[in-house]
């Protein structure tokens, strides 16, 4: 037997579901999600403003493929000031962008 009684849904002798409680949880979730979205946007803007002076890099490569055109080489970067992590192609111009970068040996 299922029926509504006020703001509660009766699903049997011992199981009640409070509609008000469900609505409050959804409202709290929406409020938290909105804050996360706003803070994520602020973090992205901060990372774009960062000069990445405290940064490390590590070369990586994928070679030995049967099709040599599928080989790839790049640089993994990590800025310790803003915690941005990104990957670029292996290019001397990328290294010139960050003169203070420290190489990590693996």
15-63 pLDDT, tens digit per residue, is 555 555 667 888 899 999 999 999 999 999 999 999 999 999 999 887 7
43 and 59 co-located in one domain: no
Mean residue pLDDT of the chain comes to 82
Ordered strands of the 3-5 beta sheet? 3-5, 8-10, 16-18
- What integer pLDDT is reported at residue 87 of this predicted model? 93
User: By C-alpha distance, which of 65, 66, 61, 51 is closest to 100?
Assistant: 51
Number of domains in the chain: 2
67 and 81 co-located in one domain: yes
33 and 63 co-located in one domain: no
72 and 94 co-located in one domain: yes
Domain ranges, residue 74: 51-103
Q: What is the value of pTM for the model shown?
A: 0.65
99 and 57 co-located in one domain: yes
36 and 64 co-located in one domain: no
């Amino acid at each position: 037997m299922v029926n509504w009684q006020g703001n509660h849904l009766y699903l049997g002798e011992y199981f009640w579901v409070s509609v008000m409680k469900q609505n409050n949880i959804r409202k709290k979730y929406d409020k938290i999600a909105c804050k996360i979205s706003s803070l994520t946007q602020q973090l992205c803007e901060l990372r774009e403003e960062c000069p990445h002076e405290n940064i490390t890099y590590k070369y990586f490569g994928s070679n030995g493929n049967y099709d040599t055109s599928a080989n790839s080489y790049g640089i993994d970067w990590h800025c310790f000031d803003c915690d941005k992590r990104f990957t670029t192609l292996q290019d001397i111009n990328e290294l010139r962008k960050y003169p203070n970068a420290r190489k990590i040996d693996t």
